[in-house]
Homo-oligomer: A and B are copies of this chain.
């Protein structure tokens, strides 16, 4: 049996070494550079593999998706009906919480304004309300959202959450569904988006939503932080909302087109923090260890964990 690695954007040699280091002698084939027998492939480690590739593997038992987002994978209409495992190790969740916490504190503590003062050699106290005076709203209360909630609550922020279906999260107020969205937005100064991309959520971050965020908050205007998926956001609406003062600032890790084209007006803005889809980048070695552990459990007849619900799309 062979493990197939199919992630055209990744450094194949580095991944081959990492997998080999933990794979216990299992054969490894790298799509695009190794010849292999399709019938020998039992497991595929993928990130945006070529459409049709996985359908050509008759004995495939599981797909390990090397990232949280499965929307592009599921856009392959020939995708075989085997379990898709989202590779979510504790590290991935922790990585996202690091990034979300950094961005929330950056805006709450006026870090960008202080950097501008520094460039001008100016010793000036910029406004930075206490965490206890700032209302953070988390859209998406899955594993990532709930972990960020814990840290932000510990830091003293007023945290609330919103999710598609009703959820209870210890220590915070939660809202759900279309009916609960307006009340959630109306009490939110910093909106942190950790939603999956589905037909329901595509383009949800638009002018209409931004206009419903709190106008009276301690930060002097609402802040958007999106580490979910680029397809959630309407970038023209973000730019217009920043220009109109409907949004005060934004931190974006994901974009409709990635890499973000060099011509995008987002790059130039000093009220936008851009990172190149690295929020929840994992330690690849840790990922490989987790995947092989799941393969071993599967071979013992145990159930795979973190399997995508295809009907829900995440």
- Which residues on A are within 8 Å of B, measured CB to CB? 91, 94-95, 97-99, 101-102, 105-106, 108-109, 111, 114-115, 117-119, 121-126, 128-133, 150-151, 154-156, 258-260, 262, 264, 267, 273-276, 278, 281-283, 286
How far is the CB of A127 from the nearest CB of chain B, in Å? Answer: 10
Taken together as a complex, chains A and B put the C-alpha atoms of A167 and B287 apart, in Å, by: 37
Cβ of A130 and Cβ of B276 under 8 Å apart?
A: no
Smallest Cβ-Cβ distance to A282: which chain B residue: B130
Chain B residues with Cβ below 8 Å from A111 are 102, 106
Chain B residues with Cβ below 8 Å from A156 are 94, 98
How far is the CB of A287 from the nearest CB of chain B, in Å? Answer: 11
How far is the CB of A151 from the nearest CB of chain B, in Å? Answer: 6
Cβ of A123 and Cβ of B260 under 8 Å apart?
A: yes
**Which residue of B108, B123, B128, B282 contacts A281 across the interface (Cβ within 8 Å)?**
B128
How far is the CB of A265 from the nearest CB of chain B, in Å? Answer: 10
Cβ of B154 and Cβ of A276 under 8 Å apart?
A: no
Given A106-B111, A121-B267, A267-B121, decide whether A101 and B278 contact each other with a Cβ distance below 8 A. Answer: no
24 sampled A-B residue pairs with Cβ under 8 A: A91-B130, A94-B156, A98-B130, A98-B155, A98-B156, A99-B109, A101-B101, A102-B106, A106-B106, A106-B111, A114-B275, A114-B276, A118-B273, A118-B274, A121-B262, A123-B259, A123-B276, A126-B278, A128-B281, A130-B282, A130-B283, A130-B286, A133-B283, A151-B151
Q: Which 9 residue pairs of A and B lie closest in terms of their CB atoms, listed nearest first?
A: A123-B259, A102-B105, A121-B262, A121-B267, A123-B276, A118-B274, A94-B156, A130-B283, A114-B275
Chain B residues with Cβ below 8 Å from A97 are 155
Taken together as a complex, chains A and B put the C-alpha atoms of A101 and B108 apart, in Å, by: 12
Chain B residues with Cβ below 8 Å from A119 are 267
**Which residue of B101, B128, B132, B273 contacts A105 across the interface (Cβ within 8 Å)?**
B101
Taken together as a complex, chains A and B put the C-alpha atoms of A117 and B275 apart, in Å, by: 9
How far is the CB of A298 from the nearest CB of chain B, in Å? Answer: 26
How far is the CB of A286 from the nearest CB of chain B, in Å? Answer: 8
Smallest Cβ-Cβ distance to A286: which chain B residue: B130
Cβ of B94 and Cβ of A132 under 8 Å apart?
A: yes
